[in-house]
Amino acid sequence: MLQNKKISFLGGGAMAEALIRGILKAGLFKPEQVTANDISQERLHYLADRYQIRTSPEGAAVAAEAEILFLTVKPQVINQVLKHVASKVRKETTVISIVAGFTIAALEEALPQVPVVRVMPNTPVAVGEGMSAIALGTFADAGTGEIASAIFSSVGQVVNLPESLLDAVTGLSGSGPGYAFVMIDALADAGVRAGLPRAQALLLSAQTLLGAAKMVIETGEHPGKLRDMVTSPGGTTIAGIHVLEQRGVRAALSDAVIAAANRSRELGKK
């Protein structure tokens, strides 16, 4: 499916680098199949040296040769980039956009009859534990979806959803790492408060959330059932959970997701 295909990235930032790292590590592509474009020569030199991929400052040329074209630029420049490269993109090229707030309709207006895919990934793709939601455009068939799924599965997990749900995805998994970092930091501070050294408290905090998340995914059990398994009558865990419920942590997380999803909708209208 991906053998010998040329894959290109318009935009060589952190998310592009994470994807490049993931697909190379997974063996989906060889370095010589991958080309990155960016306005920064320094960034291009870094990517070429680090991953042995091809780089070019010429976006139109990169788009012209791509069989799979990633749009990994900032939202504020996507219209300018598309105007520059649109005439060079072939009808058989698969275009995958991770540009926040830029709709499939807008992509298809700029790239008529081209199979486009819109993806909402999150930052843990950088360590191979990302969560990505994929929405297919009008001209994208099952094969196009398989290509996108294979690529993003190399850096985490994938779900296929209608585009109408991507704002909700943004509020939950797109912004979710930020919520998790706050929780890790707060738990580590509490560990220090309880007498632990800072480094050990941070490791205990981060690994605990990582382990809990893996238990949910790998056992398939509802988190409520897993919680009950560690809450002995009159024990330490139920005492701590009682405080969380008293302080409204569950409601605060729910409100955070809804606020982020609403903000994503607002940004998409601009």
* 183 appears as a binding residue in the annotation: no
Which of 226, 124, 125 shows the shortest CA–CA distance to 179?
124
Judged by DSSP in three states, 266 sits in helix
* 13 appears as a binding residue in the annotation: yes
* 105 appears as a binding residue in the annotation: no
Q: What is the CA angle 76-79-85, rounded to 5?
A: 130
What is the DSSP annotation of 179-202? HHHHHHHHHHHHHHHTT--HHHHH
* 14 appears as a binding residue in the annotation: yes
**How many whole angstroms separate alpha carbon 191 and alpha carbon 193?**
5
Count Cβ neighbours within 10 Å for each residue of 6-18 and write b for 16 or more, e otherwise.
Answer: bbbbbbbeebbbb
CB-count exposure of residue 135 (10 Å: 0-12, 13-18, 19+): buried
* 10 appears as a binding residue in the annotation: yes
Binding residues for NADP(+): 10-15
Binding residues: 10-15
